[in-house]
Structure 1
Amino acid sequence: MEGRLVVVVGYDGVELVDVACVTSGFEHANRRGAEPAYRVVLATPAGRSVRSDSGLEVRGQSGFDGIRGRLDTLVVSGGLGHVEAAADPRLVGQVRRLAGASRRVASVCTGATVLAAAGLLDGRRVTTHWYYARELAERFPRVRVDAGPVYIRDGVVATSGGVTAALDLTLAFVEEDHGPELAREVAMGMVAYLQRPGDQAQISQFTGVPRPEQALVRRVVDHVVAHLDADLGTASLAALVGVSERHLGRLFGEHLGTTPARLVRDARLEAASRLLVTTREPMTAVARRCGFASAEGLRQAFTARFGVPPSRFRAERARARDPGAAGLSWS
């Protein structure tokens, strides 16, 4: 086939957004002059239609056996059907074969489970949807799971977090292949954020911090949840939007009923609580990702807010999810 052949793997229970972010991202790159262009094929078992986890059916363009020769990129989609897909020896074997013929291999969301079942993630640092990170780590102990980043590149293998992180990964591939300007044009054409860096935390998007209507306050809040490990002192936040600290404090009180410092603390603690539950990151790493100066600083703030130290919180949540996990060694 001419151009860069990209094979997207689908199966029953696939997530449509996982597929569409990749296929649409590469197609937008073609519309804006990618040369060589991408040729994207959705491959499914026997080339049949698959039922997505939202109930819609998607027609496969090829069976796995029909794809021969060199591939540019292999992308395994995620979805609620990932466990069944990873238990299908034929599908896993085909993914292993196609990966061996590919310049680079990637997964979206829980598609990492299929790559892991194929033995393609052993010894690698990878990510997946934060909610499934612990499950992946426990099932495949040779895989180094990090639920924090939006996507991770480890050699020729790239893995991305939940759902829309597929677009961030696709934009990174477009930039790698054709330069940052084309990637920027694709992002603008898809009305997407101009490519989040891979090491941005997945959980920064999911804090319970309210998003206010007032534009200036909203800008500050968006900056906070996207940069938890940055300098988020009131002086820095005020300088970011060009107002005094006093004025920023008044705006926060009026529109959020809190102070900038308290909002920053709450966002960091909520993010820390998610990392404690969904990853095996040591306390020092959790503290660093969430903007605390040290593990002790995290411990003090966490205990003051939740009434228990983070180590106990992590252990209790592990037992709640798996009563037999009491013997697990959590850092």
Structure 2
Amino acid sequence: MLVLWEIYPWRNVEVKKSVLVVLVVALTLIFPLNVFASVQIQRPVYVEGKRIAFDISPIVEKGTTLVQIRPLYEALGLTLSFDPKTREVKGGNDKYEVVLTLGSDLAKVNGKEHKLELAPRTIKGHTMVPLRFVAESVGNSVYVNTDTKRIFIGVFMTYLKDKYFDMSWGLSKEEVSKINKNDHNELLYENNKFLFYDTEFSLASKKNMVPANKIYSFEGNKLSGAIVKFNSSDDFDEQYSTYTQVIYDLNNLYRTSSIYPYDKYWIEGDSIERAYREVYKDDRMKMYEMAVRSGDLVFICPFDFADTELALFLQNKGTFSKPEYEVSIMYEQNKEFFNQISN
């Protein structure tokens, strides 16, 4: 567990992830001399954070995922050509050339022959190719989120950038310190595990710059986590506005890992929520304010990306008589992801 969470009281809150039930259609495709048992599934595929739009859903067969070739190659920035005589499909860029042959489990990458787990083929008029083989052959890593079933493709472990966090996982404390030397950041505190900065951000919903703190956490002198804490205020409406604006900014890159973009955590469960609704009826914002002020409610919006897990919070860090509503973002390096792509 990251040392970072030791200074944050809501690290132990269990965020309930919504479960999506997907109808799976089993298809049996019969070919001469071979029978392939395939499953067509809804499995989102992302290249550098952008989802690929396929005309036909990915196919999983014998542990290999086949996807429609043209959208994949376009997303990877590869050229694409097909020779109907040899049934060869060629794709590449200025560094790689990948040659696949329909119906053959042999492929070539820059002239070197490779054996495929599954041969590319045509399904419903679409050419389907092994996703992992193609992606890794042109220098990318592939990560499958086992919870959400999302597939991420990209040159990971290089750079992660959003409006609030602009760093590479694994940077040393000295490197992070050097990057943060600018007019917007003032170092307030440091030790061998943390760097603590005073900073500010511009938000579309605010006229002026919004003050905040950035806290970087290190394990073995490698960046492994961060917190962005916007300055607290006793104005709930103002902080809720900041919360929703940050959700909008993060959602453009990470996509929420919940079906509900404004997930709420009622400390005492559904019974306390019903009690508040009976009192405040249709005055939703007043109900939220009083519940957060009383410590009965915390707003939580979880997000995910291949190499990063993060969550946005809105909570009262003060007391009922002197509320301090605070919006914060917590970033954590996805260790499972790094272990998988390093093997």
If the length of structure 1 is used for normalisation, what is the TM-score? Answer: 0.23
If the length of structure 2 is used for normalisation, what is the TM-score? Answer: 0.23
Larger radius of gyration: 2
**Greater fraction of residues in helix:** 1
**Greater fraction of residues in strand:** 2
